[in-house]
Chains A and B, each alone.
Chain A
Amino acid sequence: MNCKQVEELLPLYAGRDLEEKRATLVAEHVQTCAACARVADEYREAVQLSGQFAPPIFSEAVYRRNPDNSVLREIEYKSHSAIVVTNNKGCVSATIPRWAIASVLLMLVSIFAIYFLMNKGKRRAAIGHTPPAEVQPGTRGTH
């Protein structure tokens, strides 16, 4: 097998989708060819990274746009209708249902609003009740 033939099979080889006979031939070539080994590693890394992402949840608009809804329904059914929180690197940190995130956000907003309103009230009260400057006895009506 030459490099060109191997290059065509590398995407499947990286994800172990190749039948045994061909996979053995590719593996033999990869062991001797540094360039193909590098490409195989890149494919393998891409496959591993894609495995770290959660399957998507589709909106009704996506269902309307795509004719084959059964495939989308199958993907969504398998992903348990939960959203997955991912960081910038794409690694999964937790699986949290949508209603929990919404309620936490609502609580945070209401706490912030109450705190803000209370502070505003206090500030107003502090300005309104400043004691007037004391008038010195005997200074009034001296003229």
Chain B
Amino acid sequence: LIAKAIALLPFKERASIVLRDMEGCSTEEVAQIMKSSATTVRSQISSARKKIRAYCQKQLRRSEEKLR
């Protein structure tokens, strides 16, 4: 579910989340790779995590409704 949610993210958010959460890079390292500022990267990561959570909640709710 999470892998699919990550796959659905926009390119920059996906790249940030892959580098930060999967690769374990620091925000500064991600900013260096992405050629942007740490603040921008933080904003992208925040947005990506919100979208991942929203997607997972939506899918879980759907599967619960199907079970009923």
- A17 and B44 alpha carbons, distance in the complex (Å): 12
Beta-carbon contacts under 8 Å, B1-54 to A: 2-3, 6, 11, 15, 17-24, 27, 33-35, 42, 45-47, 49-50, 52-53
What number of residue pairs across chains A and B have CB atoms under 8 A from each other? 70
Determine whether the beta carbon of B53 is less than 8 Å from that of A49: no
In the complex, how many residues of chain A place their beta carbon closer than 8 angstroms to a beta carbon of chain B? 27
In the complex, how many residues of chain B place their beta carbon closer than 8 angstroms to a beta carbon of chain A? 26
Binding site for A on B (CB under 8 A): 2-3, 6, 11, 15, 17-24, 27, 33-35, 42, 45-47, 49-50, 52-53, 56
- Chain B residues contacting A141 (CB-CB under 8 Å) are none
Binding site for B on A (CB under 8 A): 8, 11-12, 14-15, 17, 42-43, 46-47, 49-51, 53-56, 66, 68, 70-72, 74-75, 78-79, 90
Tell me the minimal C-beta distance from A104 to chain B in angstroms.
Answer: 25
- Chain B residues contacting A8 (CB-CB under 8 Å) are 46
